Amino acid sequence: MQIFKVGGAVRDRLLGLPVTDIDWVVVGATADEMLAKGYRPVGADFPVFLHPKTGEEYALARTERKSGRGYGGFTFHASPEVTLEEDLIRRDLTINAIAEDDLQNLTDPYHGQRDLEARILRHVSPAFAEDPLRVLRVARFAARYASLGFTVAPETLELMRQLSESGELQALTAERSWKEISRALMEDQPQVFIQVLRDCGALKVLMPEVDALFGVPQPEAHHPEIDTGLHTLSVLEQSALHEQPLTVRWACLLHDLGKGLTPEEEWPRHIAHEHTGLKLIKAVNERFKAPKDCQELALLVGKYHTHCHRALELKASTLLELLQNFDVYRRPQRFEEFIGACEMDARGRKGLEQRSYPQADYLRGAARAAREVAVQPLLEKGFKGPELGEALKRERLKALKAYKDEASA
Ligand code: CTP
């Protein structure tokens, strides 16, 4: 048997990037031989094994034949006769289809090195279409390598368009899609992920609510970029520049969905978009089974981002309501993430990226003032149960009024 390093490990070494995961392909072996050498099988009918010591993945060289719709619709053909070239041709991109032996000799039948140099994401063969998840993968790689100058080959984008139009994307499970989406959002340029999905028509299928924002105008005075879709991309871009966590990036992507529902005759104003957007945010959250913290933050940011922008004008009672709704006493981190997302929203506007956002510190100060109200003196006064809650609220309101007065003095 012969063993080669393949996929991301070879690609990233050639790009001079750090390599974390190593995948291996084994040519000329049977499953029984692998088992005899102590490799552990990953699944019952999947020709992939884990190395007994390193835990790295070793896959038998295989060809894939599509036998139906979706990821379940695969039959694998792995046998000792499958050649390295046959295994590489069923892979997604040429830059992922380079094999390397233990002397660092490369086998590169589909010119992955040439595409690495030319900074092109190009599919290897029509077999690309066998796994629709690859549409998301290519968009993710585009986001990851955008800063190196990579773009998607026109013929690959065309194939991605055909796949998007074929209905195949709907067959993807929420789990597989979310894995790609969440990884893509954590890349340096997550806005490129959304842009590429849009360019190939996949965004319309996966997140029509986000796609609908393109072409929707906003008032130029607040939004010099005008287009809501472009604004959303900028907000995402800012979220990565400011190294925000996944929760914040997800909330950034979805914060303005309500603007896609505004009747054209109301453009460029979007009255109550915070409210109308909530059902759309919920739908996208559920479609991809986003983790609970992502779902929650997206809904809160959708509902309250305008409150944050207007923080300095809010009455003490409205401030208190906001803090209570966020349960800021028990969930300070979530409130911090909310502020982060709103700041990205403010910065994601053309020409206003560097403008200061005093609302952030103002709200942090308000949260601190409310949190510092001590319970002990109220307990000592004999307050209990609901009365204690009310008394606490009154004291917090007092503290917020004092905070407001001090801030405006
Ligand atoms: N692969 C593929 N199609 C997929 C998934 C994987 O062709 N849907 C192939 C590619 O050759 C890929 C390799 O399997 O390079 C390993 O896949 P994976 O570990 O998912 O990705 P990497 O390319 O290693 O990239 P990453 O750095 O994102 O992990």
Give the burial class of 321: count Cβ atoms within 10 A of its Cβ; 0-12 exposed, 13-18 middle, 19 or more buried.
Answer: middle
Query: In angstroms, what is the C-alpha Rg of the chain?
Result: 26
CATH number 3.20.20.70 given to 1-118: no
Q: Ligand 1 centre from 8 Cα, in Å?
A: 6
Does the beta carbon of 56 sit less than 6 angstroms from any atom of ligand 1?
A: no
CB count in 10 Å sphere of residue 222? 12
Q: Are strands 106-107 and 99-100 parallel, antiparallel or unpaired?
A: antiparallel
Does the beta carbon of 8 sit less than 6 angstroms from any atom of ligand 1?
A: yes
Band (pLDDT 50/70/90 cuts) for residue 70 is low
CB count in 10 Å sphere of residue 166? 14
Does the beta carbon of 7 sit less than 6 angstroms from any atom of ligand 1?
A: yes
Q: Ligand 1 centre from 98 Cα, in Å?
A: 12
Q: Where are the domains of the chain?
A: 1-118, 119-206, 237-371, 376-408
Tell me, what's the pLDDT at 68?
A: 56
CA-nearest residue, atom 7 of ligand 1 = 91
Does the beta carbon of 134 sit less than 6 angstroms from any atom of ligand 1?
A: yes
- Burial of 171-205, coded b for 16+ CB within 10 Å and e otherwise, reads ebeeebbbebbbbbbbbebbbbbbbbbbbbbbbbb
Mutate to test the pocket of ligand 1, among 14, 50, 91, 169 (most ligand atoms within 8 A of CB): 91
Residue 226's alpha-carbon distances to 116, 213, 348, 362, in angstroms, are 36, 11, 11, 28
Does the beta carbon of 86 sit less than 6 angstroms from any atom of ligand 1?
A: no
- Burial of 229-252, coded b for 16+ CB within 10 Å and e otherwise, reads bbbbbbbbbbbbeeebbbbbbbbb
CA-nearest residue, atom 9 of ligand 1 = 91
Q: Model-level pTM? A: 0.95
Q: How far apart are the C-alpha atoms of 118 and 250, rounded to whole Å?
A: 32
Q: How far apart are the C-alpha atoms of 173 and 131, rounded to whole Å?
A: 12
Nearest to residue 210, comparing CAs of 159, 118, 139? 139
Q: Ligand 1 centre from 59 Cα, in Å?
A: 12
Mutate to test the pocket of ligand 1, among 92, 144, 169, 180 (most ligand atoms within 8 A of CB): 92
Index of the ligand 1 atom closest to the CA of residue 9: 24
Index of the ligand 1 atom closest to the CA of residue 91: 7
Q: Ligand 1 centre from 93 Cα, in Å?
A: 9
Query: Do residues 251 and 295 lie in contact, with contact meaning Cβ atoms separated by under 8 Å?
Result: no
CA-nearest residue, atom 24 of ligand 1 = 8
Per-residue pLDDT at 43 exceeds 90:
no
343-399 pLDDT per residue, tens: 999 998 888 898 899 999 999 999 999 999 999 999 999 999 999 999 999 999 999
Q: Ligand 1 centre from 199 Cα, in Å?
A: 22
Residue 385 Ramachandran class (φ > 0 left, ψ -120 to 50 alpha, else beta): left
CA-nearest residue, atom 16 of ligand 1 = 7
Nearest to residue 247, comparing CAs of 157, 186, 198? 186
Q: What integer is the mean pLDDT of 29-38?
A: 94
Does the beta carbon of 23 sit less than 6 angstroms from any atom of ligand 1?
A: yes
285-303 pLDDT per residue, tens: 999 999 999 999 999 999 9
Q: Residue 46 half-sphere exposure, CB side, CA atoms within 13 Å?
A: 13
Does the beta carbon of 96 sit less than 6 angstroms from any atom of ligand 1?
A: yes
Per-residue pLDDT at 242 exceeds 70:
yes
Per-residue pLDDT at 243 exceeds 70:
yes
One-letter amino acid at 395 equals: E
Nearest to residue 212, comparing CAs of 117, 154, 295, 277? 277
Structure tokens at 242: 């400011």
Does the beta carbon of 13 sit less than 6 angstroms from any atom of ligand 1?
A: no
Q: How far apart are the C-alpha atoms of 89 and 72, rounded to whole Å?
A: 20
CA-nearest residue, atom 12 of ligand 1 = 7
Residue 152 Ramachandran class (φ > 0 left, ψ -120 to 50 alpha, else beta): beta
Does the beta carbon of 131 sit less than 6 angstroms from any atom of ligand 1?
A: yes
Q: Ligand 1 centre from 390 Cα, in Å?
A: 56
Query: Do residues 320 and 393 lie in contact, with contact meaning Cβ atoms separated by under 8 Å?
Result: yes
Structure tokens at 404: 């407001």
Query: Do residues 120 and 90 lie in contact, with contact meaning Cβ atoms separated by under 8 Å?
Result: no
CATH number 1.10.110.30 given to 119-206: yes
Q: What integer is the mean pLDDT of 252-260?
A: 95
Q: Could you write out the three-class secondary structure of 170-208?
A: HHCCHHHHHHHHHHHHCCCCHHHHHHHHHHCCHHHHHCH
Tell me, what's the pLDDT at 67?
A: 54
How would you list the strands of the sheet with 57-60, edge to edge? 40-41, 48-50, 57-60, 23-27, 2-6, 99-100, 106-107
Tell me, what's the pLDDT at 66?
A: 59
CA-nearest residue, atom 25 of ligand 1 = 8
